[in-house]
Amino acid sequence: MTTPQEELLPTTRRALAHRVAVAQAEGRTPSLVAAVVRGGQTVWHGARTSVDGHGPDETVQYRIGSITKTFTAVLVLRLRDEGVLDLGDPLEKHLPGTGAGEATIAELLAHSGGLAAESPAPWWERTPGSLRPELADVLGEQPLRHPVGRRHHYSNPGYTLLGALVEKLRGAPWEEVLQREVLDPLGLARTAAQPSAPHAGGWAVHPWADVMLAEPVEDLGLMAPAGQLWSTAGDLARFAVFLMQGDDKVLSAETVREMRAPAAPVEAADVVDGAAYGLGLQLQHRDGRLLVGHSGSLPGFLANLTIGVEDDVAAVVLTNCTSGPLLAGVGADLVRIVAEAEPRIPEPWRPLRDVDVDSSVLELAGQWYWGTHAFALRLTADGGVSLGPLSGGGRRSRFRANGVGTWTGLEGYYAGELLGVVRRADGTVSHLDLGSFVFTRQPYEEGAGVPGGVDPEGWRGIG
């Protein structure tokens, strides 16, 4: 997994080391460990500590808090991919009697199920899970704070419900299912619900003096699927590769792409901040790039996993303090440093193989018109097609081939819409139909089945 750090330029490595050092010093945290992934490999690891002569490495465990939610989401998506459930199913269908069963599984994954942000008092992160032995204790007497599906409202109890759903459908404890279905297949040997040496201790740093207070470590019980896990920079780097590429032993590349897509209604403040939420993943626009991942915190610990998918760069940052450096910013900076200093080199262009070229599709390539708007249809290397304006802005999308002379839109306005070819009786192409929109070879081509017909007088100037 790990390759020599020399794969990055010395100037890049120094910039990364400087950013980590500033974060540890200005954030006043006992220790900070970080890793950077590029091209499916860990290419850099760095650490800073307040202990002379000792620094944590990529094998030291830290508590990762809400990054646990992404692991829980993976378990739920596995159930969906196996056909055990549908994301549109209400929770009540599979886990009845919770009082929050109106919310769909997708809404719980995206924090749009209307549930409260926290469990009722006492503060669940600093008290043993044994105080909340039943789901009713986690949800309280009034589980909902908002209408179901109307807004994104981050909910820790929502992920407790998802963990209970996994346990119900798998017939085994959440921790056991996670070990068997995710941790073992991905080789995450240092990720677990309980710490094992070497691991960091959690600390609170006094806001006005350079002194520290040890934080308690609690077993979260039913809340474990929302924040229980311990992990390392090395393991989370491997997990980042999985979230970028997929792994058929766990989830396909197509499903992890689905996790990275926005799935929750966006609030006005989120529009300003460029933030959104997918299925178990946070999304943000920063420095002109889309970043996905998750942050985490529990008393004594902060954690962040940030992925720049288009740049093929990811960063992990872990610290052992209750409040300190803003790790989302640190992670984003580590991604930016590598992406800007050493931009991704594209794969060489290669022509398609003969077996991948379908003449009936090739004849569709080129210029098309929706009314008077000029579009270009291109064949893509993955066997699909793309359709977009010849110039300027406008609706564009990639399309997945369905194998029957039709394609399904993958993004933008045409996501999920069907693109088909309409042929004349002699087999020649009349036009394209995209969700009822007619695309012709010439603007308003005569005889091409344009709705409303074409004026028989044709194109003309002013009389």
| pLDDT above 70: residue 2 | no
Listed range (7-16, 274-283, 347-356, 439-448) with the worst mean pLDDT: 347-356
Domain locations in the chain as residue ranges: 5-82+119-131+187-341, 354-439
Q: Of 3.30.70, 2.40.128, 2.60.98, 1.10.10, which CATH number belongs to 354-439?
A: 2.40.128
H or E element: which one contains 216? Answer: none
As a whole number of angstroms, the distance between CA 209 and CA 213 comes to 11
Chain mean pLDDT for the chain: 93
Integer angstrom CA distances of residue 275 from 265, 292, 311, 406: 11, 10, 19, 34
pLDDT reported for residue 271: 63
Listed range (102-106, 340-344, 354-358, 389-393) with the worst mean pLDDT: 354-358
Summarize the confidence of residues 220-242 as an average pLDDT: 97
Q: Which residue would you say has higher pLDDT here, 420 or 53?
A: 420
Q: Which of 352, 383, 341, 339 is nearest to 39 (CA)?
A: 339
- Indicate the pTM of the whole model: 0.89
| Contact (Cβ atoms closer than 8 angstroms) between residue 175 and residue 184 | no
| pLDDT above 80: residue 109 | yes
Integer angstrom CA distances of residue 214 from 96, 130, 300, 320, 375: 41, 22, 8, 10, 63
Q: Which of 410, 384, 155 is nearest to 257 (CA)?
A: 410
Residue 412: count other Cβ atoms within 10 Å of its Cβ.
13
> Tens of pLDDT along 57-107?
999 999 999 999 999 999 999 999 999 999 999 999 999 999 999 999 999
As a whole number of angstroms, the distance between CA 209 and CA 186 comes to 42
Q: What is the DSSP string of 303-357?
A: EEEEEETTTTEEEEEEE-BSS-S-HHHHHHHHHHHHHHHSPPPPPPP-PPPGGG-
| Fold agreement (5-82+119-131+187-341, 354-439) | no
| pLDDT above 90: residue 312 | yes
Listed range (114-123, 242-251, 287-296, 444-453) with the worst mean pLDDT: 444-453
Task: Identify the bridge partners of residue 187 per DSSP, sorted by sequence position.
Answer: none
| pLDDT above 70: residue 214 | yes
pLDDT band at 434 (very low <50, low <70, confident <90, very high): very high
| pLDDT above 80: residue 269 | no
pLDDT reported for residue 3: 41
| pLDDT above 60: residue 45 | yes
Compute CA 8 distance to the chain's CA centroid, rounded to the nearest angstrom.
Answer: 26
| pLDDT above 80: residue 247 | yes
> Tens of pLDDT along 127-185?
999 999 999 999 998 899 999 999 999 999 999 999 999 999 999 999 999 999 999 99
Tokens coding 287: 């420095």
Q: Above pLDDT 90, what percent of the chain?
A: 81
Length reported for the chain: 463
| Contact (Cβ atoms closer than 8 angstroms) between residue 338 and residue 306 | no
| Contact (Cβ atoms closer than 8 angstroms) between residue 90 and residue 101 | yes
Q: Which residue would you say has higher pLDDT here, 211 or 458?
A: 211
pLDDT reported for residue 1: 40
Fold that domain 5-82+119-131+187-341 belongs to in CATH: Beta-lactamase (3.40.710)
Position 380, amino acid: T
As a whole number of angstroms, the distance between CA 428 and CA 158 comes to 54
